[in-house]
Structure 1
């Protein structure tokens, strides 16, 4: 969609010990303060798939008693869920298992209200981490603190006010579109937490400036959803090619099939693939692998910026040729 961005929001460098999160309603009761203690991720209600009362007559009687409703995967911030994911991936993919043994387990970012996290994601689009942090700090100051970053406040900020703190006119329109969808009831913090992955992806990509990559990063790093595969992320695609010894870089349309064995914990598998790619890149440059001073999401953001720069370097000569053609046409 228009305004698709290939960057993500700046992560909180602190980590969250997985534990039982509060209910989704809690996010409307206690707003997040700038320097508040860690807030646990609100949970989605566990849903079950209703089964028909009709039993398949061809099914052996020994299997009839073992039928149970399918339980939707829980957030990774639930106590023990991350450990379950790691153990499952070790047994389901022998090639991924050595990576799990080599690299540290995922760290979960502190929970922030979805509106704040999505706003931050928009502000950080296509910016270096330092520049994005500077603009975000000024934005928070303009709003009077993180707890005041709510739809009404954002809609009250004019494009001129936002431009003065470094926010482009296009990003200002993205922020206002997000806030309007909240104000109109199309989105809310509670509905975002409660929605299943497919519905959430559909609803968030309706917001101008939020594309598939941004939604995947939000679902993994902000909501701690367990089964998200960022099929458009170049780092993940490169990692899958290296892990499975593929000759060509897999296309996004091929990723689901290639990573089928990671379900229902593709978010956790993606974490290890990112670490794998990071280590390969660091080794080739002689850098220290696994720099603990820089969070993984910041490194992913840097990787995305490098991809954009390479893409622009490829396009510049083509655009130059096209511009020459335009000039020549004008001269005629």
Structure 2
């Protein structure tokens, strides 16, 4: 083959670069500092923790002299609930908009239907039919609320350990996804189940009336006003709210 032919053939053959693999004798990196880590929120000490309630009452006395006489004239609150979050939330649904005596009767029948407090579990409640619940006095609407709560547990959207580890704002956003659970129910759950120290239930009429009485206001303060009036109580607004309920109760007894 002539040189000219060789040159012509070479022009027709495309040139493909070869990939060169570079071997390394270095072992793979074991540095885990770049791996994403789950950052858990730093939660405040609960009011049931040793010494925390004393700290709360001391703080309230110091920042709001008007509440000091309430603290001195009432036994301190007892934050000793031991119910699981699922049990507490189920009970909260059953007690909604009912007189205490009627709600307690329905709740007792509900516990019996489930097989006791230890058996109030998502899979047990989910299996209860609307008819079974109706027979113990639970309305169709509340039955749907209980089933929605159970469904969110069974699907993993909610779990007791995750709830206990979440901060207040996240819980408010998550729990209000459950049918029948609104901000007021979440506030009660935070105070009386998880014993969170700095919860102000601005939508609770009893707390609002208590603040009205405490400050001698002409009308019940609006939720937006509550935040300002109770700001000095931080970070123990839960204890302050508890004493507002006691104030309203004591005025009712003497009226």
TM-score (norm 2): 0.82
Give, in whole Å, the separation in 2 of the partners of 1:199 and 1:254. Answer: 23
The equivalent of 1:178 in structure 2 is 149
> CA offset at residue 218 of structure 1?
1.3
The equivalent of 2:195 in structure 1 is 224
> CA offset at residue 110 of structure 1?
2.6
* Alignment match of 1:208 (pick from 172, 179, 192): 179
> CA offset at residue 109 of structure 1?
3.4
Max radius of gyration: which structure? 2
Give, in whole Å, the separation in 2 of the partners of 1:139 and 1:277. Answer: 31
Note the residue ranges of structure 1 that are not aligned, 5 or more in a row: 1-44, 48-71, 285-332
- Checking the alignment, whether the CA contact within 8 Å between 1:220 and 1:267 is kept in structure 2 is yes
The equivalent of 1:140 in structure 2 is 111
Q: How does 1:273-288 map to 2 (within 5 A)?
A: 273-284=244-255
> CA offset at residue 260 of structure 1?
0.3
Point out which structure has higher relative CO (alpha carbons under 8 A, 6+ apart): 1
Name segments (4+ residues, structure 1) moved above 6 Å: none
Give, in whole Å, the separation in 1 of the partners of 2:203 and 2:174. Answer: 18
Q: How does 1:216-255 map to 2 (within 5 A)?
A: 216-255=187-226
- Checking the alignment, whether the CA contact within 8 Å between 2:106 and 2:137 is kept in structure 1 is yes
> CA offset at residue 256 of structure 1?
0.9
SS at match of 2:156: coil
- Checking the alignment, whether the CA contact within 8 Å between 2:130 and 2:140 is kept in structure 1 is yes
Determine if the alignment matches structure 1 residue 258 to structure 2 residue 210.
no
- Checking the alignment, whether the CA contact within 8 Å between 1:111 and 1:223 is kept in structure 2 is no
> CA offset at residue 273 of structure 1?
1.2
* Alignment match of 2:61 (pick from 63, 70, 90): 90
Give, in whole Å, the separation in 1 of the partners of 2:54 and 2:208. Answer: 25
Q: How does 1:1-332 map to 2 (within 5 A)?
A: 47=42, 72-284=43-255
Give, in whole Å, the separation in 2 of the partners of 1:244 and 1:73. Answer: 28
Give, in whole Å, the separation in 2 of the partners of 1:102 and 1:147. Answer: 37
* Equivalent pairs, count: 216
C-alpha offsets along residues 43-80 of structure 1, whole Å, 9 cap, x if unaligned? xx872xxxxxxxxxxxxxxxxxxxxxxxx421011100
- Checking the alignment, whether the CA contact within 8 Å between 1:77 and 1:224 is kept in structure 2 is yes
- Checking the alignment, whether the CA contact within 8 Å between 1:205 and 1:215 is kept in structure 2 is yes
SS at match of 1:96: helix
Q: RMSD over aligned Cα, in angstroms?
A: 1.3
